Amino acid sequence: MSLSWRYGRGVTPRGLPASVRLSILDRSRTRHGEPDALALQATMDRAERADALGLHRYWMAEHHAVPGIASGSPQLLIAAAAARTRRIRLGSGGVMLPNHRPLIVAEQFAMLEALHPGRIDLGVGRSLGFTAPVREALGVSEYGTVEFGRDLAAVRDFLHGRGPVSASPVVPAPPVFVLATGSGLEVAADAGLPVVVGGPRLLADPSPLERYRETFRPSSAVPEPYVVVNVDVMIAGDTTTARELLLPEAWAMAASRETGVFGPLQPVDDVLALTMRPQQRRRIDQWLAGTVHGTAGEVASELARLIDRTGADEIMASTSTFDRDELAKADAAFAELVR
């Protein structure tokens, strides 16, 4: 079902709805042969560029004991990025509630909001650790919809001064987003919260999003449903180059299916030189099929179709490649899509 009626007739010169917002999710991807600290510094540099480019949000992820991702604490990264930026909203994509007590989450984000008022977002999810040893180290092996709904409600109660004790500092509550798939959409609708969704299956079948909108419980803080679509995006001078720039991420995903280790990014030429088995190539092709890549015009057209299909209010790009100069160019081209 087309949802383009939601945006009226206003479109950008690129064909995107004029009201759509563009944002970035950064995972502090490590690179082969580089120290992890450099990945965190690059995340800060990228946040400054995103601010200058006029992008709406810049979110940082939470992953633990993953060799390819240096971001274990989005709260700390948000604080560091906020000190180096002026306008852009900063948030977590997301804080995984199985790993944290609700009071601690509420107080951390209340403190961020107090220091940087009007610029902080709290995105929460329920994913467990990447492998069984990581889950054991985190102390959580089972965590379902009931537990997620309970902890989400507790975080919001503390932020809004309704908890059994007073969370400090007392500030206006930053907006809360739910990183949702499947039953997570039901939790978000029942709580009346905006959602961040992704994944080929969900984006190919928008019916769960339609149910989210139909069952959404509005509030004074969030009067209408709000959908952020997270997708891997790469823009380059031609389609082939854009595809190749995505290969380091695609190979890391494909290799992790066999090794159980999501590793650092490798240079494009190194990935192209690999001798891959047919199954590995299929996995790479499947992953690439779920991305949006090509020239600026091609990406704009594909994103316009995605927005029309899902009714997305915002696109959050998880752009990633080994070459940071190419990544900076892709971010700049992405921001230009709505100018």
Q: Which of 274, 267, 273 is nearest to 326 (CA)?
A: 267
Distance CA 186, CA 149 (A): 10
Domains of the chain: 4-234+296-336 (3.20.20.30)
> Which residues, in sequence order, are bridge partners of residue 234?
293
Q: Which long-range contacts (CB under 8 A, 24 or more apart) does 217-221 make?
A: 217/189, 217/190, 217/191, 217/192, 218/192, 219/192, 221/173, 221/175, 221/192
Read off φ and ψ for residue 186, nearest 5 degrees: -65, -40
What pTM did the predictor assign?
Answer: 0.94
Helix 145-159 vs helix 102-115: angle between axes, to the nearest 10 degrees? 40
**Residue 334 confidence (pLDDT) above 50:** yes
> Which pLDDT value is given to residue 201?
79
> Which pLDDT value is given to residue 219?
86
Q: Using only the alpha carbons of the chain, give its radius of gyration.
A: 19
- Give the mean pLDDT of the chain: 93
With beta carbons less than 8 A apart as the criterion, state whether 159 and 171 touch: no
**Which pLDDT tens digit goes with each residue over 162-212?**
999 999 999 999 999 999 877 889 999 999 999 999 987 778 888 999 999
> Which pLDDT value is given to residue 309?
92
With beta carbons less than 8 A apart as the criterion, state whether 14 and 300 touch: yes
**Which pLDDT tens digit goes with each residue over 78-122?**
999 999 999 999 999 999 999 999 999 999 999 999 999 999 999
The b-or-e profile of 110-127 (16+ CB within 10 A means b, else e) is: bbbbeebeebbbbbbbbe
Of the two residues 316 and 182, the one the predictor is more confident about is: 316
**Residue 266 confidence (pLDDT) above 90:** yes
Distance CA 134, CA 127 (A): 12
Between vectors from CA 176 to CA 172 and to CA 29, what angle results, nearest 5°?
120
Complete DSSP assignment for 171-238: -PPPPEEEE-STHHHHHHHHHT--EEEE-HHHHH--HHHHHHHHH----SS--S--EEEEE-EEE-SS
218-222, 238-242, 285-289 — which is least confidently predicted? 218-222
For 64, 226, 228, the CA distances from 46, given in Å and listed in that order, are: 21, 26, 21
> Which pLDDT value is given to residue 205?
87
> Which pLDDT value is given to residue 2?
38
**Residue 6 confidence (pLDDT) above 50:** no
**Residue 214 confidence (pLDDT) above 90:** yes
| Overall average pLDDT of the 274-296 stretch | 96
Paired tokens of 149: 């709904």
Q: How confident is the model at residue 4 (pLDDT cuts 50, 70, 90)?
A: very low
Distance CA 228, CA 177 (A): 9
> Which pLDDT value is given to residue 273?
97
**Residue 5 confidence (pLDDT) above 60:** no
**Residue 8 confidence (pLDDT) above 90:** no
Q: Which of 243, 265, 240 is nearest to 254 (CA)?
A: 265
> Which pLDDT value is given to residue 202?
79
